Chain A
Amino acid sequence: MESNPPRRRRRAFDWSTATIAIFAFAAAAAVFWRDGPEHFLAILGSDFTLLGEMLPKVLAGCLIGAFVTLLLPRELVARWVGHESGFAGLAIAALFGFILPGGPITIYPVACAFLAMGADAGAVVAFITSWTLIGYTRALVWELPFFGSDFVIWRIVEALPLPILAGLLARIAVRTGLARMGDRA
């Protein structure tokens, strides 16, 4: 009845992680060399505390993402955000971006499923932008530990109109021929 989104094989370690590992290792070595072992250990300790605080939230976020991906009635969603859906479709796509949790592994396949079921590029752009900028799991799991709630809420308020704006810009680009999407499946 329901089709699973396409899955991508992945390894636990990739180029993205390797790049960051190189940055992190160089920075750690610089701190050790510049400020001495005591300061190095103090930073290491606070980083591990932060990590310990984040892990239960990350696990919760992963489980929420997995369940929502399995439970989501994608056919229904696609009808709501189809390319005849007008402004309401953009707003609904943005709302889905807000409520749908998960990382890039779950969100892009869902966006692809929307496209395959007839959602227009504008709705997909609104959806991804919304998930990126105002998605609640992303904010709670990743952003809050660094910035604190006042700053995050303030940032999200400013980001609220952006998903719909991005969706409108994408539709204008497609309609005026600035971007071609090819034949719709």
Chain B
Amino acid sequence: MTLAINIMLWLVVGALGLGAALRGRVLLNDGTRDGVVEFIHLLPRIGIGVVGSGFVAEVLPKALIAPWLGPESGLTGVIIATLGGALTPGGPVIGFSIGAAALKSGAGAPQVIAYSTAWALYAIHRLLIWEVPLMPARVVWLRAAVSLPLPFIAAAAAMVLARP
């Protein structure tokens, strides 16, 4: 599976690189340089995120997860999960790793979906650090406001479409 994904991603890289090369050597060099620079900038974040995520997941208070976020927790669980997602710092992997650990420790799938959806859409920390400096603030707040119900809708859809 992981090999298939790697092959697919690198085929896309190859096709795009070819597309760039056909339009000029400069474009190919620029693209490669931008991509590698981005990767180098991401490295410390990924390193800390992934290596730290195992430990963060390990210290999650597992005894509290099943009663508060378990499949029986219903709407209350979804609300708690959504709040938790909004308050989780927004690195590239931290929300996914906490979500996956919670799932293993007995959280319900709709609650985990609400958590990772809220984290992806409006982790407060990410809005302030990434989005506000790069986008017009009005658009950021409008986007965050209309996103407020989305984790609930995603969780409701997850309850209706039972997990395979």
Interface residues of A (CB under 8 A from B): 8, 10, 12-17, 19-21, 23-25, 27-28, 30-31, 34-35, 43-44, 46-48, 50-51, 53-71, 103-106, 108-109, 111-112, 115, 121, 124-125, 128-129, 132-133, 137, 140-147, 149-151, 154-155, 157-159, 162, 165-166, 169-170, 173-174, 179-182
Contacts and interface: CB of A to CB of B under 8 A. Distances in A.
B96 A147 contact: yes
Given A154-B161, A159-B117, A181-B142, 19 more contacts: A8-B134, A16-B90, A21-B48, A23-B94, A34-B59, A43-B58, A44-B54, A51-B51, A54-B46, A60-B9, A63-B39, A70-B34, A71-B16, A112-B136, A129-B150, A150-B163, A158-B161, A165-B153, A166-B146
B27 A70 contact: yes
Interface centre among B30, B53, B96, B146 (most CB of A within 10 A): B146
Main SS at interface, chain A: helix
B42 A58 contact: yes
Contacts, number: 258
Interface in B72-125: 89-94, 96-97, 99-100, 103, 109, 113, 116-117, 120-121, 125
Contact of A70 (B30, B49, B113, B117): B30
